[in-house]
Structure 1
Amino acid sequence: MKKIVFIGAGSMAEALMQGWIKQNVLTAQEIYITNRSDKERLQFLHETYGVNKVDDPAIYQQADVIILAMKPKDAIVAMRELKSKITAQSAVVSVLAGVSIETITHFLGDRPIARVMPNTSATIGMSASGIAFNDKVSATQRSMFLELLEAIGSVIEVNEDQLHAVTALSGSGPAYIYYLMEAFERVGTKVGLSKDTVRLLMTQTLAGSAEMLKQSTDEPDVLRKKVTSPGGTTEAGIQALEQHHFHEAIEACIKEAEARSRSLANG
């Protein structure tokens, strides 16, 4: 039986543990959770998913993997407290935006470390994750980390510097899609449809478009042009997006998020 210990119990920790339990990769009994002070949150996760609260410090010594999932602003204090509790062999997986392997090594010592940027779609087994390893991660550990992430979606190995871009794109990506859906629902009700109707139409449209991109060998611009008849409604909509600088807005969004990830890394 594995022992996976989460330091931090926020939305990403919940998404990962829920996804792993749902996909039968880990049992609730293999997962332990702790945080600095929110005992109600720990109790909620314990009652909801059956995971264990860390009541005995010996658990840290027995852990196969320590997952850093606290808020990035709390990371340094948490790692200082954690260092004396874990063994030199314990592997560390960080899901913290902007906190580098170098920083983790400084506070937790030279040990196997992986940085992962998943997203909250891990809850339903559809995360898009990027992962980077240090040279202390063994082949066995690498396989274990990849297996855990593949069970909750897609994973791609990148170099650590590329995790800033992964964070900006797929890590934050669900929020952008939900923000887009908010806009669809707002305008859809203005043009006479119910919110439920807009939700049904657009969730299926988004899902269908994503599946077309996965199954088709065509580039996105080719698929777009196949939908866009000259002088038609789609062309009118695309022209409006261009007039409102849609591409520039998306570029600004990603660049700002990527820059924020880098600024977190620089303290």
Structure 2
Amino acid sequence: MTIAILGAGVMGGTLVAALARSGHRPSDIIVADKSPERAAQVALGHGTRHDSAEEAVAGAQTVVLAVKPQDMRGLIDQVRDRMRPGTLVVSIAAGISTDFLEARLAEGTSVVRVMPNTPALVDQGMSALSPGRHCTPEHLAQARALLEHVGRVIVLDESHQDAVTAISGSGPAYIFYVVEAMIEAGVLLGLPRDTATELVVQTLYGAATMIRETGHHPTVLREQVSSPGGTSVAALRALEDHKVRAAFLTAMEAAAVRSRELSPRPE
């Protein structure tokens, strides 16, 4: 099966690399980008083909739309007449609904909307899939298999995609922000920066592994660390005094609102 990936940015390039690692024949992967030089660079790095967007979709059974939301309308206008009947279209652009794509593609086109995230770069991504009105079970399974190359996958109703964007799509940015703050705190307390970094990163990794492996609710795990009158309780009290929990809720609501704002209306 030939897969065309339109957009050679971070996520497009990540998918190309993952597919190449997973055993797909490089000759079955075609990369296209509005910058031909960028497409050629990504293709050369993984031994795949590269071509114009129009030529890439003409020979593909699966087309992945990996461009910025503001570029989607122009890209669809550019390639829709070159897609073969029965093509599976997978969109990983934030805010672009299946209704928008279906209104601009050939009638009956199978569309799957996906919200991935950047840990896909290390095969630890989280992707949420939502099938469009015309998506067949077979095409949904193909889309799922495609994204499983870069991490975990869930399928859910498209009405939840703005929330997914706010949680897992933008989520790595929140984690990096907290990690950065913790490292700076370590430096403030007198630790060398590389030591603080190692302490924080391993602590994050270990805590995430505990949540996954034990299956316990985070509240239970937090209480296990928080001895009465101890250091963790003192720190958590300071976080509550500064309304950090409320700030996270507000921030994630803002991300969901912005996701809705990015969604263009179908014509």
What TM-score does the superposition give when structure 1 sets the normalisation length?
0.93
1:229 aligned partner:
227
Q: How does 1:88-103 map to 2 (within 5 A)?
A: 88-103=85-100
Q: Which runs of 4+ in 1 moved over 6 A?
A: none
- Of 171, 181, 184, the match for 1:183: 181
Identity %: 33
- 1:177-219: per-residue Cα shift (whole Å, max 9, x none)? 1111211222211111122112211111111111111122321
Q: Secondary structure at the match of 1:206?
A: helix
Give me the whole-angstrom Cα distance separating, in 2, the residues matched to 1:263 and 1:190. Answer: 39
Counterpart secondary structure, 1:130: strand
Match of 1:199 in 2: 197
Query: For residues 126 and 70 of structure 1, do their structure 2 counterparts lie closer, same or farther at Cα, with a shift above 3 Å needed?
Result: same
In the alignment, is the contact (CA less than 8 A) between 2:28 and 2:48 conserved in 1? Answer: yes
Whole-angstrom distance in 1 between the partners of 2:124 and 2:220? 26
| TM-score using structure 2 length | 0.93
Q: CA deviation at 1:82?
A: 1.1
Give runs of aligned pairs for residues 53-72 of structure 1, distance below 5 A.
53-54=50-51, 57-72=54-69
Q: Distance in 2 between matches of 1:48 and 1:153?
A: 21
Q: How does 1:239-250 map to 2 (within 5 A)?
A: 239-250=237-248
5 Å-filtered alignment, 1:34-183, equals 34-36=32-34, 38-54=35-51, 57-110=54-107, 111-183=109-181
Given that residues 15 and 121 in structure 1 are in contact (C-alpha distance below 8 angstroms), is that contact kept between their aligned partners in structure 2? no
Aligned to 2:17: 18
CA separation in 2, counterparts of 1:25 and 1:141?
20
Instruction: Say if 1:127 and 1:25 are closer, same or farther in 2 by CA, change over 3 A.
Output: farther
The gaps in structure 2 that reach 5 residues or longer are none
Secondary structure of 2:90 counterpart: strand
Structure 1: distance between partners of 2:179 and 2:105:
41
1:89 maps to a residue whose letter is: G
Unaligned runs of at least 5 residues, structure 1: none
Distance 1:74 1:101, change over 3 A: same
The whole-number CA distance in structure 2 between the counterparts of 1:145 and 1:137 is 10
> Within 2, Cα distance between the matches of 1:56 and 1:256?
34
How far does residue 57 in structure 1 lie from its aligned partner after superposition?
4.5
Contact 2:62–2:90 (CA under 8 A) maintained in structure 1: yes
Offset at 1:139?
Answer: 2.4
Deviation of 1:99 after TM superposition, in Å, equals 0.7
The CA deviation at 1:115 is 0.3
Within-5 A mapping of 1:1-16: 2-16=1-15
Q: How many residues align?
A: 264
1:173 CA drift (Å): 1.2
Displacement of 1:40 in angstroms is: 2.7
Letter in 2 for 1:19: A
Give the partner amino acid of 2:77.
R
Counterpart CA distance in 1 for 2:53 and 2:80 is 16
Tell me the distance in 1 between the aligned counterparts of 2:25 and 2:174: 32
1:44 Cα deviation from its structure 2 partner: 2.0
Cα RMSD for the two superposed structures: 1.6
